[in-house]
Amino acid sequence: MEHFDLSLVNWSRAQFALTAMYHWVFVPLTLGLAFIIAFMETLYVKTGDEEWKRITKFWMTLFGINFAIGVATGIILEFEFGTNWSNYSWFVGDIFGAPLAIEGIMAFFMESTFIAVMFFGWNKVSKKFHLVSTWLVAVGANLSALWILVANGWMQYPAGMYFNPDTARNEMHNFWEVLFSPVAINKFLHTITSGYVLAAIFVIGVSAWYLLKGRNILLAKRSIIVAAVFGLVTSIFLALTGDGSAYQVAQKQPMKLAAMEGLYEGQEGAPLVVVGALTPGKQHDDDKDPYIFRIQIPKMLSFLGYRSGDAFVPGVKDIVEGGYTYVDKNGVEKVALSAEQKIERGKIAIKALADYTAAKDANDTAAVAYYRAILNDNFEYFGYGYLNNPKSIIPNVPLTFYSFHIMVALGFLFIGFFMLILYLVYFRQFKINKWILRLSILMIPLAYIASQTGWIVAEVGRQPWVIQDILPTVAAVSRIDSSAVQITFFLFFTIFTALLIAELRIMFKQIKIGPKEGGK
């Protein structure tokens, strides 16, 4: 690995992380607010109450501000696959490109067409057509998320493809396996529902501010009701899909699961750490206790990961050293190889590809068949061949561990929060304490933190892989100067930060201004 330009790899990762995280500041609100607005407008069309229209239009203004910047930060991500991850683009473009193209054709146009009707059509089209347009914006936005998340899910668990040595790339052979891969489905559902929860919290938080200020009372109360119901339902669903995602991680990315839990030594009946702190500097091969302290639920990790309280959960050390038994994706029980053995097998696969090509050029059919068989036998470890050090298969454990625990804790906090709000609304006739209103505002940044940490778990936890087991991040980059990426990194940083500040200022101002005149 020392041959790789690690500075280039790290700056490329930093740039992708920066742009993805900025994008993800704006997208979840778009995903959720679109539906909340659609509910509100439905109430308007059903009841004919002008106040609902005013409420809809107010949230729509905030939606528009947020949407624009989501678009601005989104375009760069698509093109970065080419500009910064060119090897990746070739190696998996045959599979990865299709969802991206479908996203453009099916989802983006739907979103951008009907968003125009939504904003400019109030006095030009019928009420019903307008309402349908608003719903289509919501559907379009969420469909956009579907395809990119399918692509991401595929990177975590490559399904529906095979390696073609003649073209030296992975090729799709089953579209449905890619689309309906359990990882992709869970990822999609978990990610979009996190957006719904965030949007619900956003609406409640802003409304709480109005209640604190004693203005726009009707708007605030009605918005809180819609958002709290939506939030409670979706946050429960969020927990369920989170469980589904963790189960998939346990099956397909055991190293990620070990990192999420800070589990170094595997065990049967592994407990789930609810709260804990990790020992700094812990290595997989030293004897330090991984935790400074922890509160845990016995057997819970085994149960969540394998649906059996006594199942064996491999730790970081086990996965590096191998030797434990596991059930592979075909349901066959196997003994895990050590990282060193996997690296060796990977190198055999890569060499077989070179020999295969040479044999093909020499028209030596016997040798072609021979090397092809070797390649096929070892392909599942292909990506390991680019690694040299067994330790390099370990992701950043503390970052993954803390991100995961923050995300989960906040997720449960949100469920409790929605329950509390609904309780106060229905059983206490909206008599909400000032400190609860203040707490509601505080929930907004917490929702963003939960959302970002979720992506950190997903993306940091799967390192060193860009495609699980097949292509490590170090082998995916473009051949450009590290300094070039540094320059664009800081350009993106500057411009996105400036745009974020602008967005926040405009948003705060619009909230202060509130809805147009005429309300109660």
Show contacts with other proteins in window 52-81 (CB under 8 A): 57, 61, 64-65, 67-69, 71-76, 78-79, 81
Please report, as residue ranges, which positions from 142 to 201 form the binding site for other proteins (by CB under 8 A): 164, 167-169, 171-173, 175
All residues at 6 or more sequence positions from 275 whose CB lies less than 8 Å from its CB, including other chains: 294, 295, 405, 409
Query: In the range 105-134, which residues lie near other proteins by CB under 8 A?
Result: 105-106, 108-110, 112-117, 119-122, 124-125, 129, 133
Q: Is 389 in the site for other proteins (CB under 8 A)?
A: no
Distance CA 504, CA 508 (A): 6
Least distance from C-beta 184 to other proteins, angstroms?
16
Interface segment toward other proteins; rule CB under 8 A; list 222-230, 413-421, 450-458, 510-518: 510-518
Our finding on whether 506 is near other proteins (CB under 8 A) is yes
**14 makes contact with other proteins (CB under 8 A):** no
Which range touches other proteins (CB under 8 A), out of 42-50, 199-207, 289-297, 470-478?
Answer: 470-478
Distance CA 61, CA 55 (A): 10
The one among 86, 296, 338, 376 contacting other proteins by CB under 8 A: 86
Residues 398-457 touching other proteins, rule: CB under 8 A, are none
Minimum Å distance from CB 114 to other proteins? Answer: 6
DSSP secondary structure, 260-294, as one string: HHT--S-EETPPEEEEEEEPTT--TTS---SEEEE
Cβ atoms of 228 and 421 within 8 Å: the answer is yes
Tell me how far, at minimum, the Cβ of 302 lies from other proteins, in Å: 37
Nearest distance from residue 399's CB to other proteins, in Å?
Answer: 27
Segment lying near other proteins (by CB under 8 A), choices 86-94, 308-316, 394-402, 446-454: 86-94
Greatest distance between any 2 Cα atoms in the chain: 84
List all residues 6 or more positions away from 292 whose beta carbon is below 8 Å from its beta carbon: 276, 277, 278, 279
Closest to other proteins by CB, 233 or 480: 480
Query: Based on CB atoms, which residue is closest to other proteins, 81 or 414?
Result: 81
Task: Report whether 90 contacts 479 (CB < 8 A).
Answer: no
- Which of 16, 91, 135, 202 touches other proteins (CB under 8 A)? 91
Residue 120 CA to residue 12 CA, distance in Å, equals 40
**Smallest gap, in angstroms, from Cβ of residue 16 to other proteins?**
13
d(CA 489, CA 83): 13
Burial code (b: 16+ CB inside 10 Å, e: under 16) for 309-342 equals: eebbbbbbbbbbbbebebeeeeeeeeebbebeeb
The span from the first CA to the last CA of the chain, in angstroms, equals: 66
Of 313-321, 346-354, 410-418, 434-442: span binding other proteins (CB under 8 A): 346-354
How far apart CA 382 and CA 346 sit, in angstroms, is 4
Structure tokens at 192: 């979009």
CB of 30 to other proteins, least distance (A): 13
Applying the rule CB under 8 A, the residues between 230 and 249 that interact with other proteins are none
Q: How far is the CB of 102 from other proteins (least distance, A)?
A: 5
